[in-house]
Chain A
Amino acid sequence: VTAEDDGKRHEQVRTAAMMRGAAEALAVLRRRPAGEVRQASEYAAGLLCRNAGRSDWAAAGLPMPVRVPETAENAIPAAHDSAVHLAEAAMDLHCTGLRPAQRPARWARLEEFAGGQVPATVRARLRARVDSARVDADDVTPQVISSLVAALERNQAAYGPNAYLTGMARRSLATAYWQRRAGTDLTDATALAADDTRVHAARYGPEHPVTLDARSLLAGYLLAQAESAPAERERRDLATRALSEITTVRAAHDRRRGVASPDSVASHRREARALLLLGEVSKARASMDFARRLESAAQET
């Protein structure tokens, strides 16, 4: 190994790290206005062409900048994890400007482009992106559900039940069940969300924002289950559990983010639904009225 080889190797490591940092920074721009998000997406694609060149990134479905930059001397391979991360950031930004139904095909194209050259863990990450986009687009066909179940089993075996990636897989599958609502889907979604809540509560505490998000999902599934329960007693039991979760989440959001925060307002609406199921009509009306007033006041200001 010559000093020159060492130097080149280090430059490639630097390039990969720079791209990784840039990918995380670009992801922050997701909340910018649509035009800026589009620019950010094209910029990310330009960075890829320059630093992970000798590859047709347009074939990956990414939006290309008007002037595609020349490939740099120390470019890294297109299959490098940093390049794939940056491509994901570019695609994520690009997809914010598309309708949900248009997104799965884009992610599938990126998966097809990179999938053959990357390690199994990266392939699994790209597959999860495709599946997630499909669920967001209301595609909960058996093929999608099978893929989500396989991902959960794989992550659970590889990383353990409490790992973050296992939690992500669990949450994606729960969302898919909740959308499909066939057979025991809602029960299964609730069970998965309850597991997720337990894991987060054990790690972060019961009122940490991450746990509150998990509890909010759990409450939503409980509510959906209650609303579709055929038997009165089951409906009441589920609604009672849902109301307890929703009220806890809402009170925590009130304290942390203020009573007029979108999360609190959404929780008031859910509380109204749970109260209605429990026959507390006047309280349900009061909660719903309060949510509406907060929303209209927010719009006025």
Chain B
Amino acid sequence: VGSIILHELNSTRTARWYEAASSTHRTEAWAERLRCFIGLSEMLAEQAAIPRAARNPANPANRDPSPPAAMRPGTAPEPENAPGQPDTVLPVKAGSARPRQGQIAPRGLLTEVARRAHFAAHETVYKKFRAEWEGPVARWAGTDEAIKPRNALVAEAKIVSFWAYREGVLQIAVKFDMTLPEVAEAYLRALAAWAGDDVPLAACRPAGPPACVAEDMAVLAALWTQRHCGGRIRGAPSGVPSGTPSGVPSGVPSGASSGGVPSESLEWANGSRRIVSPPRNGTRDREKDPVTEKAEQLETLARTMVTTVLDDPTITPAGAFGAMRDDLVKLLAEPADPLADQLSRAAAQLSDRILHQAPSDVILTPQQASRLLTALTGLSGLLAPIAVASGPQGADRGGLAQGGGR
């Protein structure tokens, strides 16, 4: 399973872009791009550090380099003028309940990055990240002019920064033949680790995960749907093999996978990027295909993971994941018959009422209890062979156990 997931995740549009772009690693073009990303990270780190310096030096927090500064979300317009300070940076009050990193929206980002990357003019950076880019490395954001160079640079910086975390996960996934839930958990934990390691970059507007995460979640969603829904994904014929000619699993929404350059609209640049499935006609408009729905739910979890870290940068990846473990378990659980769910809920409610009834309460008459007992005994006879066939409870190593580490 791990190698199938690896194959699919190595075939996303971003994976292909990264491979093509970094294959020129020895060349000046890629090295210059990396200088831009390093410059951006340094600039963001410095700006995040400003409020800490403004705080009382007697506070032990100010002697500790790890807690990031607290800032409230920025509301700046597209910032390509006055270089220097971010638009909104406020120090936390002394005795704040916990550190918190708000969105960072630095002004004059391209100019400052150009200066730090030792380019003589900011136009050099601008040209690398504008829609009609110059040079051998295509910008990740493609040719959509609506995506400003500033946003293209930030998006690429996040992707490149996260990419090696992702590679670390995939290496272990293949080596230990991870199941889909295991890969999803490992991926989300690595995402939290990335956000925790580079809080200012994760908080840079649009604050949140790198754009490649949405694609990857779409891949996991497609694989889950193929496994649990028999491959019958709306828009794709049943039994379509997992790798399409473009290298993206069947059923992955077109917005996440089309062509060699991205087709995304401004949505991702505005921090509200979603994988949008193509419009459908008639009554189907209100109904999403299962892959899109699952992908959006997984992407929401990924966003929440990063938000959780920004909301409290002292949290560990295990802690951040623990806060959403149940949600992932539910998302990746095998689909159950709704009747079984109803019965399970009813059993919980009825047992609760019987166990906690007051002496004067009559929950069931003896006859009702007898009829229910007969029905449940018969049902248990039907359920037993099914349960035995599935093996001992908890033996599925692919599951997500409750509880977590530090």
Contacts and interface: CB of A to CB of B under 8 A. Distances in A.
Contacts of A81: 197
Contact of A163 (B98, B168, B172, B176): B98
B98 A159 contact: yes
B71 interface: no
B169 A24 contact: yes
Given A21-B169, A24-B193, A6 B97 contact: no
Contacts of B176: 29, 32, 36, 39-40, 43
Interface stretch (B78-86, B220-228, B343-351): B343-351
B286 interface: no
Given A24-B169, A159-B98, A164-B319, A10 B38 contact: yes
B397 A17 contact: no
Contact of A17 (B164, B316, B325, B403): B164
Interface stretch (A181-189, A204-212, A220-228, A233-241): A204-212
B178 A28 contact: yes
Given A160-B95, A164-B314, A132 B406 contact: yes
Contact of A259 (B28, B35, B67, B351): B351
Nearest to B320: A164
B31 A28 contact: no
A10 to B, nearest CB: 5
A168 interface: yes
B57 interface: no
Given A43-B175, A159-B67, A209-B325, A21 B168 contact: yes
A263 interface: yes
Contacts of A43: 172, 175-176
Given A20-B190, A31-B397, A119 B65 contact: yes
Interface residues of B, number: 75
Interface string B155-192: 00000011111111101110110100010011001101
Contacts of A22: 168-169, 171-172
A2 to B, nearest CB: 10
Given A121-B64, A263-B402, A19 B356 contact: no
B60 interface: yes
Interface in B368-389: 384, 387-388
Task: Name the residue among B34, B165, B167, B319 with the largest chain A CB count within 10 angstroms.
Answer: B165
A301 interface: yes
B189 A27 contact: yes
A52 B284 CA distance: 54
Interface string B30-42: 0100110010000
Contacts of B387: 301
A161 B166 contact: no
A251 interface: yes
A209 B189 contact: no
The B contact surface, by secondary structure, is helix
Interface string A144-167: 000000000011011111111110
Contacts of B66: 119, 121
Interface in B308-325: 312, 314-319, 322-323, 325
A165 B314 contact: yes
A247 B164 contact: no
Given A14-B164, A31-B397, A254-B352, A25 B190 contact: yes
Contacts of A31: 397, 401
A287 B354 CA distance: 10
A202 B246 CA distance: 47
Contacts of B354: 286
A21 B193 contact: yes
B34 A6 contact: yes
B355 A163 contact: no
B334 interface: no
Interface in A84-114: 85, 92
A301 B388 contact: yes
Given A6-B35, A301-B384, A17 B161 contact: yes
A32 B397 contact: yes
Task: Name the residue among B349, B354, B393 with the largest chain A CB count within 10 angstroms.
Answer: B393
A72 interface: no
Nearest to A81: B197
B261 interface: no
Nearest to B406: A168
Interface in B48-69: 59-61, 64-67
A7 interface: yes
A175 interface: no
Contact of B405 (A27, A128, A162, A287): A27
B319 A160 contact: no
Given A17-B168, A209-B322, 4 more contacts: A159-B314, A160-B99, A163-B97, A259-B348
28 contacts: A3-B31, A6-B31, A6-B35, A14-B164, A17-B168, A20-B190, A21-B169, A21-B190, A26-B172, A29-B182, A39-B176, A40-B176, A85-B193, A119-B65, A154-B60, A159-B98, A160-B98, A164-B316, A209-B322, A210-B323, A247-B356, A251-B352, A256-B326, A268-B355, A283-B355, A287-B355, A290-B355, A301-B388
